[in-house]
């Protein structure tokens, strides 16, 4: 089976997947194996399984990769409030098309997850039945309306079963941030912070570089990121509260995180997938789908980020999926809202640019997209081992496909790769 249209089909109670390349970062496995699934669990894994009932359906998977489902640390849900951008049903179809079985969502509606009732509303939307059904978790707001001025009722949000606490925006009030980290010491919840000083960012739209100067785009200095990260790290050193650093985008930020980890700071970090694919040299067409927050880095930034993810200095690759309508994005680069969709195309592009070039192994990519993101969220990673839940993705690295409005499973198509051909496509997903 190939293509997005096959992802929603009912899976038999029992199924043997034959001759798949099993890639599992939890067991460091990268081998050709058979995998027997039964009633939503992995019954057996081995070479040439022969104890399978004669009437058990089989799926020939030569040349395809069978691996744990992908996990996203943060992305945006447009519904409720912005259904013209993307509904929850659209979001889940997009996630499944990209191999994602777990999502951690920030609401685009600023006030929604200030309190338990809003969290419950978003959770109810996320749990509406679909087949298969990705696991959707919700980030609660750190501050009221994500405005960075007044702390929310963090304990109430914890009791409403949020996955963690995050505004998804910079928090530039040092005293408030310190109080949040003091209060967060006893919550045992991930606290995710976006290190960016909006005062240094100003009205910028692109990373300060020779390219932004030549293109006439208002610059954003790297120090807008690094000064904010330095402040966060100083507070973590003082208080010891674990923190997840979102959206790293500069080589200097990588150095700061590496030094902090070497000193034992309780931190994890992630970078958007886009910043591993593109850099400031790709802005020459003024494609508003490459207007991102944080902005794309320089070529040296991109290389530093790639090396940091590969080594584990940066724990996870985030999708940071952010849907907008055609009308919202079809404006001048600097005036467009920053963000791009990513679920349907990220795995294909990362495979092409990192694994097909032999810069990374398949195991290294799956670590950054599956096992380590789950750990950042405080969750147990999925694994392709007997008795585990069948939370799996079957990916054909040889299949080519065109990214266009008909092939994308959502009306949100604000992507820089629209009308281009990619190699590597998800064939099927099991969500357990």
Give the orientation angle of helix 223-239 with respect to helix 251-262, to 10 degrees.
Answer: 10
Token digits for 265?
């700071």
pLDDT recorded at residue 186: 86
User: Which domains does the chain possess?
Assistant: 4-65+387-431 (2.30.40.10), 69-376 (3.20.20.140)
Q: Which of 44, 48, 16 is nearest to 32 (CA)?
A: 48
For strand 391-403 and strand 316-318, is the pairing parallel, antiparallel, or unpaired?
unpaired
> Which pLDDT does position 411 carry in this prediction?
93
Nearest to 88 by CA among 110, 111, 121: 121
The two tokens of residue 163 are 């996955």
Residues of the chain with pLDDT under 50: 1-6, 8-9
d(CA 62, CA 385): 19
The conformation of residue 4, written as its DSSP 8-state character, comes to: G
The answer, yes or no, to whether the previous bond of 132 is cis (omega within 30 of 0) is yes
The C-alpha atoms of residue 109 and residue 413 are separated, in whole angstroms, by 20
- What is the C-alpha to C-alpha distance for residues 377 and 394, in angstroms, rounded to an integer? 24
Peptide bond into 80 cis (omega under 30): yes
Interatomic CA distance for residues 314 and 272, integer angstroms: 11
Looking at the DSSP bridge assignments, the partners of residue 165 are 140, 191
CA-CA-CA-CA dihedral for 418, 426, 279, 313, to nearest 10: 160
Q: Where are the beta strands (DSSP E) in 189-247?
A: 191-194, 206-207, 219-220, 243-246
Give 306-317 as a DSSP string. Answer: HHHHHHTSS-EE
Report whether 51 contacts 395 (CB < 8 A).
Answer: no
Residue 111 pLDDT: 86
- 318: number of Cβ within 10 Å: 31
Query: What is the pLDDT at residue 274?
Result: 98
Q: State how far the Cα of 394 lies from the Cα of 392, in Å rounded to an integer.
A: 7
Residues constituting the chain: 432
Q: What is the pLDDT of residues 285-343, one digit of tens each?
A: 999 999 999 999 999 999 999 999 999 999 999 999 999 999 999 999 999 999 999 99
At 139 the three-state DSSP class reads strand
Task: Provide CB contacts within 8 A for 186, sequence distance 6+.
Answer: none
Is 66:20 a contact under the CB 8 Å cutoff? yes
Distance from the first to the final alpha carbon of the chain: 19
Q: Dihedral through CA 81, CA 86, CA 89, CA 93, nearest 10? A: -150
Q: Are 385 and 392 in contact (CB under 8 A)?
A: no
Q: How far is CA 356 from CA 162, 349, 362, in A?
A: 37, 10, 9
The confidence score (pLDDT) of residue 9 equals: 46
Task: State the Cα–Cα distance between residues 289 and 148, nearest whole angstrom.
Answer: 27
35, 61 contact by CB (below 8 A): no
């Amino acid at each position: 089976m190939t293509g997005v249209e096959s992802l929603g089909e009912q899976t038999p109670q029992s199924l043997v997947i034959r001759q798949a390349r099993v890639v599992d970062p939890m067991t460091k496995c990268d081998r050709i194996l058979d995998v027997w699934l039964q009633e939503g669990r992995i019954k057996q894994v081995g070479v040439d399984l022969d104890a399978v009932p004669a009437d058990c359906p089989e799926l020939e998977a030569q040349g395809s990769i069978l691996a744990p489902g992908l996990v996203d640390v943060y992305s945006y849900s447009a519904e409720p409030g912005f259904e013209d951008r993307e509904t929850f049903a659209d979001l889940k179809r997009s996630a499944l098309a990209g191999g994602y079985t777990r999502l951690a969502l920030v609401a685009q509606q600023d006030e929604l997850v200030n309190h338990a009732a809003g969290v419950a509303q978003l959770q109810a939307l996320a749990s509406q039945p679909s087949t298969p059904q990705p696991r959707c978790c919700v980030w609660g707001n750190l501050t009221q309306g994500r405005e960075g001025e007044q702390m929310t009722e963090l304990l109430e949000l914890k009791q409403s079963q949020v996955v963690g606490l995050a505004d998804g925006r910079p928090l530039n009030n040092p005293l408030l941030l310190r109080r949040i980290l003091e209060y967060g010491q006893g919550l045992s919840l991930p606290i995710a912070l976006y290190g960016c000083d909006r005062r240094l960012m100003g009205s910028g739209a692109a990373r300060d570089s020779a390219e932004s100067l030549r293109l006439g785009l208002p610059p954003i200095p790297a120090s807008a990121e690094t000064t904010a990260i330095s402040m966060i790290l100083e507070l973590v050193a003082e208080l010891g509260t674990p923190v997840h650093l979102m959206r790293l985008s500069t080589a200097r930020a990588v150095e700061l995180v590496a030094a902090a980890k070497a000193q034992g700071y309780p931190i994890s970090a992630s970078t958007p997938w886009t910043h591993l694919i593109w850099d400031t040299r790709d802005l020459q067409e003024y494609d508003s789908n490459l207007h991102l927050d944080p902005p794309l880095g320089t070529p040296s930034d991109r290389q530093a980020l790639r090396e940091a993810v590969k080594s584990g200095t940066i724990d996870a690759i985030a999708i940071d999926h952010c849907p907008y309508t055609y009308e919202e994005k079809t404006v001048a680069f600097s005036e467009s809202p920053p963000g791009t969709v990513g679920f349907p195309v990220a795995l294909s592009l990362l495979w092409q640019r990192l694994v097909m070039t032999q810069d990374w192994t398949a195991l290294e990519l799956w670590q950054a997209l599956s096992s380590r993101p789950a750990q950042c969220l405080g969750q147990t990673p999925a694994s392709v081992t007997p008795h585990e839940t069948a939370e799996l993705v079957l990916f054909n690295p040889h299949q080519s496909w065109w990214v266009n409005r008909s092939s994308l499973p959502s009306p949100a198509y604000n992507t820089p790769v629209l009308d281009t051909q990619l190699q590597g496509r998800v064939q099927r997903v099991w969500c357990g």
